[in-house]
Amino acid sequence: MTVLEINAISKSYGKIKALDAVSFSIPQGSVFGLLGPNGSGKTTMLSIILDVLQADKGGYKWFGQPPSYQHRKKIGSLLETPNLYHYLTAVQNLRITQSISGRGNEDDIHAVLEKVNLHERKNSRFSTYSLGMKQRLAIAAALLGDPAVLVLDEPTNGLDPVGIAEIRNLIKGLSDHGHTVIMASHLLDEVEKVCDHVAILKRGKLIASGAVESVLSAEDCIVVNAADQVLLEDCINGYPGLIRMSRSAEGIECYFAKGTSSAEQINRFCHEKGLVLSQLVSKKKRLEEKFFELTAE
């Protein structure tokens, strides 16, 4: 089942096209990463699906239905920065979240504050919190009442390494319990660790989307090395099915269409040409590399 379906959404700010006919869908129970460089349209997209901004064209559906405020009540959200009342304490702020969304009760307020390690400061005013504590409180507000869907925009902003690891574990725990998490992040390493689906935006255009495995593995990559790299390059150049190759610190990276490479055949091919390989590794591409490749100018 699809939790969110986005259909050809476009949004402009004057002459700047923030989103250009972007479409993708988010399966239920997935941890969905929305990636892109600064200004790529991630927050604009999240703002539109939370009804804070209006799309110029296109539309979206929550749970297969036209969006309504009733859907937003069921979604725990953190958008851009912690948007809370500076003069109120953590508990008082969460009471407002509870009152508007109808999610949770007084016990749940204390439970989420425990979960994000803010319980000891529950009666301190928001204005006295550090950036990391403010972020934790905003995450607590999103988690209140255990919503089935969470939208988190840069959830690890301002957190220390321990806090980042805690949020990562929290998201993994939510996923294990069947929650759907939609998160935008710059931290590709984090996204790779927790997300099972991604969409990559660049200047408002969707350039890739789907399961992480399928986005990362659009091509097979095999790294080879030999004592004479020049000879190896000449040899590999003649290998049937090779799309391209490039030198790296590990050796020569050879790219093939997905599912067409075979380390055994490459080894035999080189051996027949009189070359002995010192390295032969089937390499899985990391999200960071793929991201730079896709978003490169």
Partner 1 sequence: MISNIIKTEWLKLKHYKAFWVLLSVTAISYPGINGIAYYAFMDSIDAKSQSGQLVKMLLGNPFAFPQSFHTTAYLSSFFTFIPAIVVIMLITNEYLFKTHRQNIIDGWKKNNFIWGKFISVFLVTLIVTLFYLAVASIIGTLATKEMAGINIFEKANYIGLFSLQVFCQLSIAFLLGLLIRKAFIAYGIYIFYSFILENILSGFFRVKSKKWGVDYGHYLPFEISDRLIPLPPSIGKFNEADNKLAIAAIDSHVVYTLVLTLFVWLLSFYIFKKRDL
Decide: 242 and 272 in contact? Cβ < 8 Å. Answer: no
Give the residue with the Cβ less far from partner 1, 53 or 263: 53
CB neighbour list of residue 19: distance below 8 Å, 6 or more residues apart: 9, 10, 11, 41, 44, 45, 48, 55, 201, 204
Give the residue with the Cβ less far from partner 1, 141 or 222: 141
Give the residue with the Cβ less far from partner 1, 99 or 246: 99
Decide: 142 and 154 in contact? Cβ < 8 Å. Answer: no
From the CB of 190, what's the least distance to partner 1, in Å?
23
DSSP symbols for 18-60: EEEEEEEEEETT-EEEEE-STTSSHHHHHHHHTTSS--SEEEE
From the CB of 126, what's the least distance to partner 1, in Å?
9
Give the residue with the Cβ less far from partner 1, 96 or 162: 96
User: Is residue 151 helix, strand or coil?
Assistant: strand
From the CB of 87, what's the least distance to partner 1, in Å?
6
Site for partner 1, rule CB under 8 A? 47, 50-54, 69-70, 72-73, 77, 79-81, 83-89, 92, 95-97, 99-102, 141
Give the separation between CA 141 and CA 95, rounded to whole angstroms: 9
From the CB of 284, what's the least distance to partner 1, in Å?
37
Decide: 61 and 67 in contact? Cβ < 8 Å. Answer: yes
Q: Which among 199, 156, 153, 182 has a CA at the least distance from the CA of 35?
A: 199
Q: How many helices (H) and strands (E) does the chain have?
A: 11, 13
Which residue has 């590399």 as its token pair?
A: 289
Q: Which among 215, 151, 153 has a CA at the least distance from the CA of 186?
A: 153
From the CB of 149, what's the least distance to partner 1, in Å?
12
Amino acid (1-letter code) at residue 262: S
Give the residue with the Cβ less far from partner 1, 204 or 251: 204
From the CB of 112, what's the least distance to partner 1, in Å?
14
From the CB of 173, what's the least distance to partner 1, in Å?
23
Give the separation between CA 256 and CA 240, rounded to whole angstroms: 9
Give the residue with the Cβ less far from partner 1, 102 or 241: 102
Q: What radius of gyration, in Å, describes the C-alpha atoms of the chain?
A: 23
Give the residue with the Cβ less far from partner 1, 151 or 188: 151
